[in-house]
């Protein structure tokens, strides 16, 4: 379930609302900063995972800067945090590139073709240029997140690089860094194996004196309780010492892991219970779960709108005080299937067991909702975006942002 600071009075938070605990965020940042101090590596906030910029004043005390996937993210990182600003995009738009080059310190190109197209502009602006490589090896569980899948558009393979150099031996002139990103919520043992494949395919390139830095990308679950930090340090030091390069990491999830919540309210409960068969199991259930009675409950929080990864990964978010169906069944006999207040039949968050009957108006607290949920939410069906709150010991719980009808209306016209 992750860490829970019990002194937050969730009953006072309006619903739906995200709330980020600054104390837990800072614990994560201290862990990341410790890795930086022990290795000399630089860690950047991947804004695609967490871009609540009101908290960048805290983050900038511990990390080296930000990384972006677009012009807007690059602007946000430069304006709100400062430090180093890096960017990677599968392809850059010509009309945006001049501004990107003005904002960013490092620009990573997806292919040699993209580099050749924009290198003169990048160099004129004083940007360091890098190339994203695809080692054609990943251990990602969900194929939708696998950047090394067959036909992947992400990164340059060894064969593609060989072909580019056969056509023009000077094709990489000016490249000073390599970038790879092939991990997703994984431990350092995966990184160790990935590095073997990176070296096998691109070790000759790493060894060139022109290469000044290597970016290990994101997907490192560094702040997870069972993460092998010592092995990560070993991996970083090995690459830095062998190739005399600066190592960068750009986690998004690890920065805000287990540091935030989504507070929701029960709106209504169907009176008719139904038996859950294997065919009826929600998308994020364990395969062995089935054979229990449940009731459908409608929340003012939506999987489709407010936590899209529940459907996309899929995964089942934890709720404070709840258990899985069948877990401690005598103590938690009341089972509910939570769904959002949208027209999408598949807007199902999951099945949960409680030690009491729920009633309309009761509040529920979903855990680990700071990263990705906040940046990927949407207003499908005209459902309002959750309010954004934060908590620190000085202010207690305080509001950061409230969304209104104007936010919904202004998106499309």
pTM of the model: 0.95
Tell me if 15 sits within 8 A of 266, measured CB to CB.
Answer: no
Nearest-angstrom CA–CA distance, 261 and 4: 9
**What is the predicted pLDDT for the residue at 331?**
95
Per DSSP, helices labelled H in 81-111 are: 94-103
Tell me if 215 sits within 8 A of 248, measured CB to CB.
Answer: yes
Nearest-angstrom CA–CA distance, 229 and 231: 5
Paired with 131 in beta bridges are 109, 178
Tell me if 179 sits within 8 A of 132, measured CB to CB.
Answer: yes
* DSSP secondary structure string for all residues of 352-379: EEESS---TT-EEEEES-SSSHHHH---
**What is the predicted pLDDT for the residue at 7?**
83
Query: What is the full per-residue pLDDT of the chain (413 aa) written as tens digits?
Result: 445 556 899 999 999 999 999 999 999 999 999 999 999 999 999 999 999 999 999 999 999 999 999 999 999 999 999 999 999 999 999 999 999 999 999 999 999 999 999 999 999 999 999 999 999 999 998 888 999 999 999 999 999 999 999 999 999 999 999 999 999 999 999 999 999 999 999 999 999 999 999 999 999 999 999 999 999 999 999 999 999 999 999 999 999 999 999 999 999 999 899 999 999 998 888 777 889 999 999 999 999 999 999 999 999 999 999 999 988 989 999 999 999 999 999 999 999 999 999 999 999 999 999 999 999 999 999 999 999 999 999 999 999 999 999 999 999 99
Residues 6+ apart with CB under 8 A from 170: none
Q: Among 76, 40, 83, which residue's Cα sits nearest to residue 61?
A: 83
Tell me if 221 sits within 8 A of 49, measured CB to CB.
Answer: no
**What is the predicted pLDDT for the residue at 4?**
55
Place of tokens 């690890």: 254
**What is the predicted pLDDT for the residue at 1?**
47
**What is the predicted pLDDT for the residue at 180?**
98
Fold agreement between 40-256 and 260-369+377-409: no
The contacts found for 69-73 with CB under 8 angstroms, 24 or more apart, are: 71/96, 71/99, 71/100, 71/103, 73/47, 73/48
DSSP E strand stretches across 183-333: 213-215, 246-249, 260-269, 274-276, 292-299
The pairing of beta strand 246-249 with beta strand 260-269: unpaired
Q: List the structure tokens of 308.
A: 């899209």
Tell me if 44 sits within 8 A of 65, measured CB to CB.
Answer: yes
Nearest-angstrom CA–CA distance, 359 and 362: 6
Q: Where in the chain are the domains?
A: 40-256, 260-369+377-409
**What is the predicted pLDDT for the residue at 271?**
87
| Domain at 260-369+377-409: CATH architecture | Beta Barrel (2.40)
Q: List the structure tokens of 38.
A: 């022990």
**What is the predicted pLDDT for the residue at 103?**
97
Paired with 354 in beta bridges are 334
Nearest-angstrom CA–CA distance, 295 and 272: 6
Looking at CATH, the fold of the domain delimited by 40-256 is given as TIM Barrel (3.20.20)
Tell me if 179 sits within 8 A of 108, measured CB to CB.
Answer: yes
3-state DSSP call for residue 191? helix
CA dihedral 43, 47, 49, 51 (to 10 degrees): 120
């Amino acid at each position: 379930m992750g860490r829970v600071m019990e002194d937050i009075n969730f009953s006072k938070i309006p619903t739906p609302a995200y709330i980020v605990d600054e104390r837990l965020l800072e614990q994560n940042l201290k862990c990341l900063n410790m890795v930086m101090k022990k290795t000399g590596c630089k860690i950047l906030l991947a804004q695609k995972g967490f871009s609540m910029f009101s908290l960048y004043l805290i983050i900038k005390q511990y990390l080296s800067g930000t990384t972006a996937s677009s012009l807007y993210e690059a602007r946000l990182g430069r304006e709100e945090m400062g430090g180093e600003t890096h960017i990677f995009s599968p392809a850059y738009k010509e009309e945006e590139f001049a501004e990107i080059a003005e904002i960013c310190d490092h620009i990573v190109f997806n292919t040699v073709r993209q580099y050749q197209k924009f290198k003169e502009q990048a160099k004129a602006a004083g940007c360091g240029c890098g190339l994203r490589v695809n080692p054609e090896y990943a251990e990602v569980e969900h194929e939708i997140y696998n950047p090394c899948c067959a036909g992947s558009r992400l990164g340059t393979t060894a064969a593609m690089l060989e072909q580019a150099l056969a056509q023009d031996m000077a094709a990489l002139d000016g490249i000073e860094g390599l970038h790879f990103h092939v991990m997703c919520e994984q431990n350092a043992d995966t990184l160790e194996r990935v590095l073997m494949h990176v070296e096998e395919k691109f070790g000759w390139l790493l060894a060139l004196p022109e290469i000044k830095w290597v970016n290990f990308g994101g997907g490192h679950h560094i702040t997870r309780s069972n993460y092998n930090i010592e092995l990560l340090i070993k991996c970083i030091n090995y690459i830095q010492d062998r190739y005399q390069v600066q190592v960068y990491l750009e986690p998004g999830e690890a920065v805000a892991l287990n540091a935030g919540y989504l507070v929701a309210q029960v709106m209504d409960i169907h009176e008719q219970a139904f038996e859950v068969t294997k065919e009826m199991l929600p998308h994020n259930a364990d395969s062995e779960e089935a054979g229990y009675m449940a009731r459908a409950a409608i929340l003012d929080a939506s999987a489709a709108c407010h936590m899209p990864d529940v459907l996309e990964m899929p995964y089942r978010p934890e709720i404070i005080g709840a258990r899985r169906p069948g877990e401690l069944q005598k103590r938690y006999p009341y089972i509910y299937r939570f769904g959002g207040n949208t027209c999408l039949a598949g807007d199902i968050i999951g099945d949960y067991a409680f030690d009491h009957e729920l009633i309309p108006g009761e509040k529920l607290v979903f855990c680990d909702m700071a990263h990705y949920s906040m940046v990927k939410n949407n207003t499908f069906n005209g459902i309002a975006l959750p309010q954004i709150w934060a908590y620190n010991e000085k202010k207690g719980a305080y509001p950061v942002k409230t969304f209104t009808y104007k936010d919904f209306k202004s998106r499309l016209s």
